[in-house]
Amino acid sequence: MKDYCHPKRITEDGIVESPRSLPIRCEYDVVVCGGGAAGVGAALAAAREGAKTLLIEKHGILGGVWTAGLLNPFFECVGRGWLVDELVQNLTAAGAFSGWREHDFTFDVEVMRRTLEQMMADAGVELLYYTLVADAIVEDDRLRGVVIESKAGREAVLGTVLVDATGDGDLLARAGCEYDLGRARDGMLQPMTLMFEIDGLPEGWEQAGSEELFDQMVEVIRQKELGIKLPYPRCGYAPWVINTPVPGVADVQCTHAIGIDPLDPASLTQGTIDCRRQAAETVEVFRHIPEFKNVRLTHSAAQIGVREARRLKGRYSMTIEDLIEGRCFDDAVTSCAFVIDVHDPEKGGTDEDLGRVRIKPYEIPYRAMLPESMRGLLVAGRCISGNHEAHASYRVTGTAMALGQAAGLAAAWAVRDGRELDEVDGGALHGTLQERGAKFAVDVRVVHQ
């Protein structure tokens, strides 16, 4: 029988653990921490490039906010490269992917879960579910591995290259990398949203506009004296009823948790509870509107949607000027054209001033994924290096997966060639990604070195 008990001593300053040896569970070429869009892209790319790859995920499913978070639609999925294209093709073939608005698409969440697992199996990626990354193993400014916690106890996993695809930058922080948090003037963060799913919509119904539905809800609350306060102001996106490929079923975005700390579990807990109550109240109001009289709240997401947490301080930091000028880079790994979608940290709703800022298609350089000094670590997804405003554009899932596939490719090359990550040829990486279907902002004339 395995002995899980380890001696500890309670002192005035805290708990003192006596030294112990951690068992090394396994060793890999590439270890990806986090199984959301970025982690999926990184693991698939690394494994297909020949690297022995492990993906560690805290939930029992892949997809992150796509699946645990019920996040529809799939933003920025066109022209992001071969793995994003393949995922879209697989979902389409299964009848689980459909157009929603001009450049946005929705998917069947359950089919997404199975599809991602099958792609991992086909690529030879090893998965480790129900496992938390608890600490980093650092020697001489090199990340050597991670300490994990699971039902099996505390163990170590070693890797030649590790990828932080946690979204919140958990690994980079534990490795001692510097990071930013929140907007520059006061550190406040964007509100969180708990998505939820409804069924019972009339056949062929599609939402005309959020403002119109908001006004209907306000009138229902007044007339029926429901005593419900909507958690967001009148704006262009909430409530957002997003049709899925499943007839009569939609995912709804409208809950708001303001002032919640993504790094504090007690705060996250309260935000989740508040949003789950808001979801039930929203459906209560919906049912007084004729088109929604038969709707039912089928379930809320298992994971609250965190828009913003830690952001790496990397070799290059994305800024709002990069977006406005549509800057291109010799070591670009993906492009993005999503709006500056800042949800107001103080009152909810969108920041209309930033939302009106006109941006051009821009590129994100490989350097934005590289820590300033820590070797052996790449960062992918919304926790790459950039400021509050730029982050609000590139944080979407299609861009996150594209960043992940670039990280996986670079990681596999570094292992294969015995090079440091900052010695990987960014220009060659850019060229290979382009050959494999990634579209870059080639129409932008400003090249920023």
pLDDT at 78: 87
CB 202 within 8 A of CB 260: no
- What does the buried/exposed string (b/e) look like for 390-402 if buried means 16 or more CB atoms within 10 Å of the residue's CB? bbbbbbbbbbbbb
Of 266, 300, 334, which residue is a domain's last?
Answer: 300
pLDDT at 443: 46
Q: Which 8-state DSSP code applies to residue 408?
A: H
**Is the domain of 268 the same as that of 316?**
no
**Alpha-carbon Rg for the chain in angstroms:** 22
CB 434 within 8 A of CB 440: yes
pLDDT at 275: 98
Q: How far is CA 12 from CA 8, 9, 17, in A?
A: 13, 10, 14
CB 379 within 8 A of CB 411: no
**Is the domain of 332 the same as that of 220?**
no
Residue 64 lies in a domain: yes
Query: ω before 73 within 30° of 0 (cis)?
Result: yes
Parallel, antiparallel, or unpaired for β 8-11 and 14-17? antiparallel
* Alpha-carbon gap, residue 296 to 286, rounded angstroms: 9
**Is the domain of 225 the same as that of 152?**
no
**Is the domain of 292 the same as that of 354?**
no
pLDDT at 444: 43
| pTM listed for this prediction | 0.95
| CATH (domain of 320) | 3.50.50.60
**Residue from 344, 33, 422 nearest 183 by CA:** 344
The DSSP code sequence of 194-235 is: --EEEE-PPTT-----HHHHHHHHHHHHHHHT-----SS-S-
CB 288 within 8 A of CB 228: no
Residue 294 lies in a domain: yes
**Is the domain of 156 the same as that of 205?**
no
**Is the domain of 249 the same as that of 315?**
no
Residue 100 lies in a domain: yes
Can you tell me whether residue 120 is helix, strand or coil?
helix
Query: ω before 247 within 30° of 0 (cis)?
Result: no
Domains identified in the chain, total number: 2
**Is the domain of 207 the same as that of 104?**
no
Neighbours of 263 (CB within 10 A): 15
CA dihedral (219, 222, 228, 232) positive or negative: positive
pLDDT at 102: 60
Of 250, 271, 300, which residue is a domain's last?
Answer: 300
Residue 131 lies in a domain: yes
* Alpha-carbon gap, residue 265 to 247, rounded angstroms: 36
**Is the domain of 31 the same as that of 165?**
yes
**Is the domain of 68 the same as that of 174?**
yes
Q: Rounded to 5 degrees, what are φ and ψ at 140?
A: 50, 50
Of 277, 300, 323, which residue is a domain's last?
Answer: 300
Owning domain of residue 286: 196-300
Residue 279 lies in a domain: yes
**Is the domain of 249 the same as that of 156?**
no
CB 285 within 8 A of CB 145: no
**pLDDT 10s digit of each residue in the chain, 449 long?**
566 777 888 989 898 988 889 999 999 999 999 999 999 999 999 999 999 999 999 999 999 999 999 999 999 988 889 999 999 999 999 999 987 566 678 999 999 999 999 999 999 999 999 999 999 999 999 999 999 999 999 999 999 999 999 999 999 999 999 999 999 999 999 999 999 999 999 998 988 788 899 999 999 999 999 999 998 888 777 799 999 999 999 999 999 999 999 999 999 999 999 999 999 999 999 999 999 999 999 999 999 999 999 999 999 999 999 999 999 999 999 999 999 999 989 888 777 778 788 999 999 999 999 999 999 999 999 999 999 999 999 999 999 999 999 999 999 999 999 999 999 999 999 999 999 999 998 644 344 44
**Is the domain of 43 the same as that of 169?**
yes
**Residue from 333, 359, 411 nearest 163 by CA:** 411
* Alpha-carbon gap, residue 91 to 265, rounded angstroms: 34
**Is the domain of 296 the same as that of 361?**
no
